[in-house]
């Protein structure tokens, strides 16, 4: 869904159009789940922050000025809410996410290696700060440019680049031992 | 950072911008500078390959959107008397539709053209390598899934073939896949034998 569609939906949301809000929610919820899970690493907190974020969108859509993309505005709300939620729950839980993939592939070594890689990557992410995880996720998964990310996390663009640079180095260092060939 | 960036030259700038080059998020001037540097820096080309692999690993997610929406609707509905009619919708094609993958596909094609490895003619099914050696992260196989293949079907097919999507959908709804070299022949055979696959063809010379 493009930014123009999102803008039209936001305009309808500001007029209390619940169906437009559902469309907006369904468009953003998967992305916010992903983004917030990376920052917060607690499923229950993720739900809470998504709900709070989208409630702000529902209640404040008329305040959206249109100077940025709707996605920038919504992600920036989510980011602020996530950092606040994190302040209330400062200690991250151990990563208990498990890959439920059942392999039917006759080459278990390859599958196993892939799963181990993903586990290692997930584990490496937990050692980054929430601020670094946010930049990594917005870049790699959400496909955002560094200027948009700077707007979302409210910091200079050079800080975004620096965070990304250090995060990449940390991730690659974490994978270098067992996955040097992959890198 | 700007001071050190300008002082440390093209390599440092390119290295810093690689993630956004890989996802197609640089402006034209930055892209030109990064590509100029990539053409002469093997280290940055290796890093670009790593970036693309990291992006591939980061793409997966399984949002539970319906449960989440029901929860939020229950918070809203008391505020608003009932004209609401819930809509049903199928599960989104998150893997191939999200912006990073779309941008990655565009960036991938750009880089392949840059390196002279492949001229991607997206309207025809048989690909030919026209130039020098393609980039190591380039696509190995082009595939078109049947129109009625579900996301689960596609995932299962890709896993069975040990293939990753590195580009697409093209205008012809084809996807560019990467399969580890040692499994390529077998992976291609699996794709061709799969009911969900309409067409699967190798791209580079090595797999022909």
> How far is A78 from A38, CA to CA, in rounded Å?
12
Q: Give the domain CATH number at B196.
A: 3.30.70.80
**When comparing pLDDT for A75 and B67, which is higher?**
A75
Residues of A in contact with B156 (CB under 8 A): 104
Asked, for residue B72, whether it belongs to a domain, the answer is: no
* DSSP element (H, E) containing B1: none
Which residues lie below 8 Å from residue A85, measured CB to CB, with a gap of 6+?
A: A40, A45, A48, A49
Asked, for residue B53, whether it belongs to a domain, the answer is: no
Asked, for residue B178, whether it belongs to a domain, the answer is: yes
State the CATH architecture for A108-179: Orthogonal Bundle (1.10)
Picking from A107, A111, A143, the nearest residue to B99 by CB comes out as: A143
pLDDT at residue B66, rounded to an integer: 63
Which residue do the tokens 């151990």 mark? A94
Picking from B17, B68, B87, the nearest residue to A47 by CB comes out as: B68
Inter-chain touch A145–B92, beta carbons under 8 Å: no
| pTM assigned to the model | 0.58
* Contact yes or no for B207/B185 (Cβ under 8 A): yes
* Contact yes or no for A21/A62 (Cβ under 8 A): no
The residues of chain A that CATH labels 1.10.10.10 are: 108-179
Domain span at B115: 93-208
Asked, for residue B185, whether it belongs to a domain, the answer is: yes
Give the three-state DSSP class for B17: helix
pLDDT tens-digit map of A69-120: 999 999 999 999 999 998 887 655 554 444 444 444 445 677 777 777 777 8
Asked, for residue B163, whether it belongs to a domain, the answer is: yes
Class of A3-88 in CATH: mainly alpha
pLDDT at residue B195, rounded to an integer: 78
Overall number of domains in chain B: 1
Of the residues B85, B159, B160, B189, the best mutation for testing chain A's interface (the one with the most A CB atoms within 10 Å of its CB) is B159
Taking 80 as the threshold, does the pLDDT of residue A1 lie above it?
Answer: no
Beta bridge partners of B178: B164
Q: Minimal Cα distance from B83: which residue of A?
A: A18
- Residue A51 confidence class, pLDDT cut points 50, 70, 90: very high
Asked, for residue B15, whether it belongs to a domain, the answer is: no
Q: Minimal Cα distance from B12: which residue of A?
A: A165
pLDDT at residue A78, rounded to an integer: 97
Residues of B in contact with A183 (CB under 8 A): 50, 53
Residues of B in contact with A133 (CB under 8 A): none
The residues of chain A that CATH labels 1.10.1740.10 are: 3-88
* Chain B (2-61) residues lying within 8 Å, Cβ to Cβ, of chain A: 2, 5, 15-17, 19-20, 23-26, 50-51, 53-55, 57-59, 61
Range of weakest confidence among A125-139, B23-37, B85-99: B85-99
Buried b (16+ CB within 10 A) or exposed e, A46-77: bbebbbbbbebbbeebeebeeebbbbbbbbbb
> How far is B187 from A99, CA to CA, in rounded Å?
23
Which residue do the tokens 């449960």 mark? B67
pLDDT at residue B104, rounded to an integer: 56
Phi, psi of B34 (to 5 degrees): -65, -40
B9: alpha, beta or left? (left if phi > 0; alpha if psi -120 to 50):
left
Query: Given CB atoms, is B85 within the 8 Å cutoff of chain A?
Result: yes
Asked, for residue B142, whether it belongs to a domain, the answer is: yes
Taking CA atoms, B166 is separated from B42, B108, B115, B143, in Å, by 21, 8, 17, 11
* DSSP element (H, E) containing B145: strand B141-145
Range of weakest confidence among A34-48, B31-45, B62-76: B62-76
Q: Minimal Cα distance from B46: which residue of A?
A: A183
């Amino acid at each position: 869904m493009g930014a123009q569609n999102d803008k039209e939906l936001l305009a309808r949301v500001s007029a209390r159009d619940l169906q437009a809000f559902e469309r907006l929610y369904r468009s953003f919820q998967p992305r916010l789940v992903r983004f917030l899970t990376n920052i917060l690493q607690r499923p229950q907190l993720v739900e809470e922050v998504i709900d709070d974020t989208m409630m702000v969108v529902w209640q404040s859509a008329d305040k959206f000025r249109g100077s940025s993309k709707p996605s920038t505005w919504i992600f920036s709300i989510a980011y602020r809410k996530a950092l606040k939620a994190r302040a209330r729950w400062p200690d991250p839980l151990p990563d208990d996410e498990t890959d439920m993939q059942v392999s039917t592939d006759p080459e278990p070594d390859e599958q196993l290696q892939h799963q181990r890689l993903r586990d290692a990557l997930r584990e490496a992410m937990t050692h980054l700060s929430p601020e670094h995880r946010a930049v990594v996720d917005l870049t790699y998964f959400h496909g955002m440019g560094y200027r948009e990310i700077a707007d979302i996390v409210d910091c200079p663009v050079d800080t975004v680049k620096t965070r990304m640079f250090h995060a990449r180095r940390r991730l690659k260092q974490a994978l270098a031992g067992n996955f040097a060939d992959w890198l | 950072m700007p001071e050190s960036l300008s002082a440390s030259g093209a390599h440092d700038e390119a290295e810093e911008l690689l993630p956004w080059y890989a996802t197609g998020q640089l402006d034209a001037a930055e892209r030109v500078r990064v590509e100029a540097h990539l053409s002469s820096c093997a280290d940055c080309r290796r890093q670009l390959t790593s970036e693309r692999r990291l992006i591939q690993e980061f793409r997966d997610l399984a949002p539970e959107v319906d449960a989440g929406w029901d929860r939020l609707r229950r918070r809203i509905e008391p505020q608003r008397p009932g004209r609401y009619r819930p809509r049903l919708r199928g599960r989104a094609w998150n893997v191939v539709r999200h912006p990073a993958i779309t941008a990655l596909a565009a960036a991938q094609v750009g880089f392949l053209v840059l390196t002279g490895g492949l001229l991607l003619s997206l309207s025809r099914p048989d690909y030919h390598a026209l130039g020098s050696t393609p980039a190591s992260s380039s696509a190995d196989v082009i595939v078109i899934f049947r129109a009625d293949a579900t996301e689960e079907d596609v995932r299962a097919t890709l896993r069975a073939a040990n293939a990753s999507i590195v580009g697409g959908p093209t205008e012809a709804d084809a996807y560019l896949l990467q399969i580890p070299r040692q499994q390529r022949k077998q992976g291609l055979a699996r794709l061709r034998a799969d009911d969900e696959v309409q067409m699967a063809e190798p791209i580079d010379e090595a797999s022909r």
